[in-house]
A and B are shown apart, each in its own frame.
Chain A
Amino acid sequence: MIYNITKTELLKYFYNECSPSVSQLIERELDANPDWKKYLNYLETVQNTTEINLKPSDTLVCMILEESAATEHHSL
């Protein structure tokens, strides 16, 4: 049976944003739809690629914490 699942629904499914009923349908029919699998794999690749976990420097974090304490102190 052919289900009319759009790329928008697959996109929402990938990011856990589609309705439970659509999620269940996609999961049930995924093996029978290689195109869906291919698209979801592609989304995963892009997501992995865009994942860079940069950190602000410790000095900057300390400066912000000082600022937050100073503001707090100032307002008391």
Chain B
Amino acid sequence: MATTMISDGVLIKHYTEGNQGAFETLLKRHKNRIFSSIYALVGDRYIAEDIFQETFIKIIHSIRIGKYNHEDKFLPWAMRISRNMCIDSIRQRKRLPIVVDSEGNDILNNIGIFEKSQEDLHIENDEITMLRKWIWELPEEQREVLVLRNYADLSFKEIAIVTNTNINTCIGRMHYALINLRKMTQKNSVRVK
């Protein structure tokens, strides 16, 4: 039996009319893709959770005051909000002064703020893990396109809107990301099918 999925635009309309369940459906529909994309951009689960929460608080506020006018383009809109917050977070982290302990170690690293969790650090020595590791080494703008295309499932046109660029720039960055990944695999003699 075929089922018809209620569009994001209709869910948002229902939510503004007082249907709390509509917002819950919307959140459950998109939470994993948005969260995975945030995580892939900032690389830290705790920071990703903060940004995820802030993103949805902003989304709720915008919808409630009638600022949402993107009809069924909810995901690119939400990704744009979260992406801007990711950039702010990365900038803030870069601006933070490095405070070292008596042994010269960054104390923020010692308390785990910039470190990946144990789960993230679990490294298996296989080709897929290596490729995943190298994705983190790509320049930010290349990793961003790769992440938004593969994690958030945004089209290149939508990525162009989210990143304030154009389709050709996005496709170009994607090409460079793929070329760089290929170079890394060749340099490290890892076969990728």
Is the A/B pair a real complex? yes
Chain A residues in contact with chain B, CB under 8 A? 7-8, 11-12, 15, 17, 41-43, 45-57, 60-61, 63-65, 67-69, 71-72, 75-76
A56 touches B49 (CB 8 A): yes
Contact of B61 among A17, A57, A61, A71 (CB under 8 A): A71
Residue of B nearest to A7 (CB): B175
Taking A7-B175, A45-B192, A50-B132 as given, write out 18 further A-B residue pairs in contact, using a Cβ cutoff of 8 Å, ordered by the A residue number. A12-B171, A15-B156, A17-B155, A42-B182, A43-B178, A45-B131, A46-B150, A49-B135, A52-B39, A53-B36, A54-B39, A64-B57, A64-B60, A67-B56, A67-B57, A68-B60, A71-B60, A76-B18
Closest to B28 in A: A61
- Chain A residues contacting B39 (CB-CB under 8 Å) are 52, 54
Flag if B131 contacts A60 (CB, 8 Å): no
B48 to chain A, nearest CB (A): 8
Q: Is B47 part of the binding interface, using a Cβ–Cβ cutoff of 8 Å?
A: no
Question: Do A67 and B178 touch across chains, with their CB atoms under 8 A apart?
Answer: no
Q: Could you jot down 27 A-B contacts, CB within 8 Å? A: A7-B175, A8-B175, A11-B171, A17-B155, A17-B156, A17-B157, A42-B192, A45-B131, A46-B150, A46-B178, A50-B146, A52-B36, A53-B32, A54-B32, A54-B45, A55-B32, A56-B35, A56-B49, A57-B49, A63-B53, A64-B57, A65-B20, A68-B20, A68-B23, A71-B60, A71-B61, A76-B18
Contact of A60 among B49, B132, B147, B175 (CB under 8 A): B49
Give the residue of A8, A47, A51, A54 whose beta carbon is less than 8 angstroms from that of B171.
A8
Considering the chains assembled together, what is the distance between the CA atoms of A64 and B54 in angstroms? 9
Q: How many chain B residues touch A (Cβ–Cβ < 8 Å)?
A: 43
B56 in contact with A64 (CB, 8 Å): yes
B178 near A54: Cβ-Cβ < 8 Å? no
CA distance A20 to B2 in the complex (A): 26
Q: Using A8-B171, A46-B181, A50-B150 as known contacts, say yes or no to A75 and B64 having CB atoms under 8 A apart.
A: yes
